[in-house]
């Protein structure tokens, strides 16, 4: 069985900017012959850059993405961004 979610790591403040890492977390587990196997992966997906003037988001590939699109992937992102 597999469980996936998009999560936010701790925001980092640098030189007047706040950088918010967005990651994909995946947990896989199997039950077999009276035992269990687990495997987890945490991969970076995007960063949100918050400045006093604006908020922008970028995929790890460097492609700019709308914050609304990230909110669709993980609703918790909206709540965190609103704090800044």
So what's the pLDDT on residue 82?
81
What are residue 17's phi and psi, to 5 degrees?
Answer: -110, 150
> Where does the pLDDT of residue 8 fall: very low under 50, low under 70, confident under 90, or very high at 90 and above?
confident
Contacts of 73 (CB under 8 A, 6+ apart): 6
What is the domain partition of the chain in residue ranges? 2-82
Contacts of 44 (CB under 8 A, 6+ apart): 21, 22, 23, 60
* 41-71 pLDDT, tens digit each: 999 999 999 999 999 999 999 999 999 998 8
- Pick the closest to residue 22 from 37, 36, 5, 38 (CA basis): 5
């Amino acid at each position: 069985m597999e469980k996936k979610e998009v999560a936010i790591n701790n925001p980092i403040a640098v030189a007047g900017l706040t950088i918010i890492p967005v990651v994909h977390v995946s947990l896989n587990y199997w039950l077999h012959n009276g035992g269990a196997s687990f495997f987890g992966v945490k991969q970076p997906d995007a960063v949100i850059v918050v400045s006093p003037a604006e908020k922008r988001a970028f995929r790890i590939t460097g492609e700019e993405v709308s914050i609304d699109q990230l909110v669709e992937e993980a609703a918790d992102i909206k709540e965190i961004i609103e704090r800044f």
